């Protein structure tokens, strides 16, 4: 039995499903007593095979670029890397804990572990070569290890997307019993159903009262009694995970007793703290006079990490503008040919610290769009301050396709190059939106707005306004370069599968 303090909405839970449950990736199979489920064994075999292939590819490319494929007395030593590097790479990944289940399936920690393994392996090779005075080829090392790391990251991302697709169909899921107050339980049910990739399926709940009286009446989730019947609910539902939400009735003593009841049945116990959802990895447990205290560090929005993000943004924007220039020119040509008016649309948005700037986009609407807005306001499909309408008559025929695949956003690369925006960040708001912000929402302005972000890869316009704001605030609290990298990868799949783009 594993006790995990985590935000179930953002960080993946440690998975150890109950005995006898049937899971699958591919054919259905029942896991043996005490072992991992069949889908988990296949998933581990897949990522290990991918990591071995990444080591082989890294060694092969390094050998080709360093020696051109020619074998001689000197290059034969490096030819052995085809055998050695995959094994060494797997070992380095293991030492970096890149195979631990707590870091897999969701979140960015898995990719950070791979980067740590690559850096550690490079440093180890350099130290050994220097200490033993070995004539190690720096070109070979600087090609082989980064290539292996990059391929492992891409392969694991592909495996994760495959798993998420299976979970979207209701497979490879964990059966969950929620414990907490009715409103909190209902809110988490909604969130887990929307974010299915976490693999948590709520099958029952335990409330302070014997039966639902409010929010849960709109759901088909069974209520298995009060807090003193949690163990019975787990047995009745054959659940493999219990999530305890913040509630004053369950204190440390009650939680410890619950852990004792669940440990024999191999059931995971997850404590979903609201504080962890706000602060994430900025929370640490430190002993104070023998008592464990949860410390909250402030979000680091300045310093070296900020400079690194700025460099990645500027260099990335320049490279993307160069690579996408044929597409951008083609889109501008089609806009000018299909409707009257300029190809580019300029609008004032609010950036970091509330400073206004001019955003650039491809024009997707007719020139009289602003004048026609008053006649369409009663058809607004958004629950926030934004105007959203799936079949907006102001959008041109070409504009529908540009919005469908987010091509209309590509000119914002110029804004990133100028420093007004970032590649990843909260959505750039209008001045009228900022004027309607509550105090908490202004936290979004602590960082630069981005071309893409958590809300774009989580549903875009299909998300409720409050959920979009929550995702933006979560990004501000948790941002780092590895999270940016994952969001950029998810953006590619979101563009290819354009749900909520209108």
37-51: pLDDT as tens digits: 788 889 999 999 999
Which residue is associated with the tokens 């070992």?
A: 91
- Beta strands 356-362 and 344-350 are antiparallel
d(CA 332, CA 343): 5
What pLDDT does residue 463 have? 67
CA distances from 116 to 96, 120, 185 (A): 7, 6, 37
Quick: pLDDT tens for 407-444: 999 999 999 999 999 999 998 988 888 888 887 788 88
Up-side HSE of residue 103: CA atoms within 13 Å toward CB? 16
Quick: pLDDT tens for 130-178: 888 877 778 888 899 999 999 999 999 899 989 988 998 888 888 899 9
DSSP state of 420: S
Instruction: Give the dihedral of Cα atoms 393, 395, 400, 405; nearest 10 deg.
Output: -130
d(CA 301, CA 303): 7
pTM across the whole model: 0.65
Rg of the chain (C-alpha set):
26
d(CA 18, CA 37): 9
Looking at per-residue pLDDT, the higher value among 97 and 252 belongs to 97
Q: Which residues of 89-119 are buried (b: 16+ CB within 10 A; e: fewer)?
A: bbebbeebebbebbbbbbbbbbbbbbbbbbe
Looking at per-residue pLDDT, the higher value among 130 and 378 belongs to 130
Give Cα 391 to chain centroid, integer Å.
Answer: 30
Q: Which residues of 215-246 are buried (b: 16+ CB within 10 A; e: fewer)?
A: bbeebebebbbbbeebbebbeebebbbbbbbe
């Amino acid at each position: 039995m594993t006790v995990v303090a985590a935000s179930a909405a953002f960080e993946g839970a440690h998975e150890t499903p109950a005995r006898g449950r049937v899971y699958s990736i591919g054919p259905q199979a029942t896991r043996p007593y005490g072992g991992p489920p069949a889908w988990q064994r296949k998933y581990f075999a897949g990522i290990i095979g991918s990591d071995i292939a990444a080591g082989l590819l890294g060694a092969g490319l390094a050998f080709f670029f360093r020696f051109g494929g020619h074998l001689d007395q000197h290059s034969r030593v490096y030819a052995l890397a085809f055998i050695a590097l995959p094994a060494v790479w797997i070992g380095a990944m293991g030492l970096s804990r890149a195979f631990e289940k707590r870091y897999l399936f969701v979140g960015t920690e898995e990719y950070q572990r791979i980067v740590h393994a690559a850096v550690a392996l490079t440093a180890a090779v350099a130290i050994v070569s220097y200490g033993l005075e070995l004539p190690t080829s720096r070109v070979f090392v600087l090609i082989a290890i980064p290539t292996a790391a990059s391929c492992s990251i891409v392969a694991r991302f592909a495996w994760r997307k495959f798993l998420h697709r299976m979970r979207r169909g209701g497979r490879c899921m964990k059966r969950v019993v929620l414990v907490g107050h009715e409103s909190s339980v209902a809110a988490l049910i909604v969130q887990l159903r929307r974010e299915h990739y976490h693999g948590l399926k709520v099958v029952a709940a335990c409330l302070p009262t014997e039966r639902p009286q409010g929010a849960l009446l709109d759901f088909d989730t069974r209520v298995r009694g009060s807090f003193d019947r949690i163990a019975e609910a787990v047995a009745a539902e054959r659940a493999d995970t219990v999530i305890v939400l913040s509630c004053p009735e369950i204190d440390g003593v009650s939680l410890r007793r619950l852990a004792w009841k669940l440990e024999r049945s191999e059931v995971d116990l997850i404590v979903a703290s609201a504080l962890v959802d706000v602060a994430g990895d900025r929370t640490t447990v430190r002993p104070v006079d023998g008592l464990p205290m949860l410390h909250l560090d402030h979000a680091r929005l300045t310093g070296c990490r900020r400079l690194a993000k700025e460099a990645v943004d500027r260099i990335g924007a320049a490279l993307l503008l160069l690579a996408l220039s044929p597409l951008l020119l083609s889109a501008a040509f089609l806009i000018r040919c299909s409707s009257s008016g300029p190809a580019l649309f300029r609008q004032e948005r609010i950036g970091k610290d509330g400073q206004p700037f001019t955003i650039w986009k491809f024009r997707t609407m007719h020139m009289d769009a602003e004048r026609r807005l008053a006649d369409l306001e009663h058809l607004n499909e958004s629950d926030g301050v934004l105007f959203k309408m799936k079949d907006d008559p102001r959008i041109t025929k070409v504009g529908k396709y540009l919005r469908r695949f987010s091509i209309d956003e590509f000119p914002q690369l110029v804004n990133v190059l100028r420093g007004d925006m970032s590649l990843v960040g909260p959505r750039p708001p209008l001045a009228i939106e900022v004027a309607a912000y509550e105090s908490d929402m202004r936290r979004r302005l602590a960082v630069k707005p981005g071309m893409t972000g958590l809300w774009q890869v989580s549903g875009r316009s299909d998300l409720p306004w409050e959920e979009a704001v929550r995702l933006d605030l979560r990004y501000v609290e948790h941002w780092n370069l590895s999270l940016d990298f994952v969001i950029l990868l998810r953006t590619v799949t979101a563009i290819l599968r354009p749900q909520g783009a209108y």
